[in-house]
Amino acid sequence: MKEAYRQAKKQYLKSNGWWAHYNDNCWFDGVLDKLYVEDGSIMGIRDKSEGLTLEEAFNKVKNNK
């Protein structure tokens, strides 16, 4: 049951424009991205230290709705 709740939170974040790049507990708001392609590589990916945990990101989105 716990894993299903975790999966639901991840889906909720994804459907609200968030993404996890480094691992499942490091989330970023896609609105803040400044991604671009340079010589075939994606540039502008934010540092892992800027990511929020799943719980922090979920609460932030939930409270902003």
Contact 50, 41 (CB under 8 A): no
Each residue's pLDDT, cut to its tens digit, for the chain (65 residues) gives 799 999 999 999 999 999 998 998 999 999 999 989 999 998 998 999 999 999 999 999 999 87
Rounded CA-CA distance 37/14 in Å is: 22
* Single pTM value for the model: 0.83
Q: 10 Å Cβ neighbour count for 37?
A: 9
Residue 53 structural domain: 2-64
- Structural domain count of the chain: 1
Contact 56, 17 (CB under 8 A): no
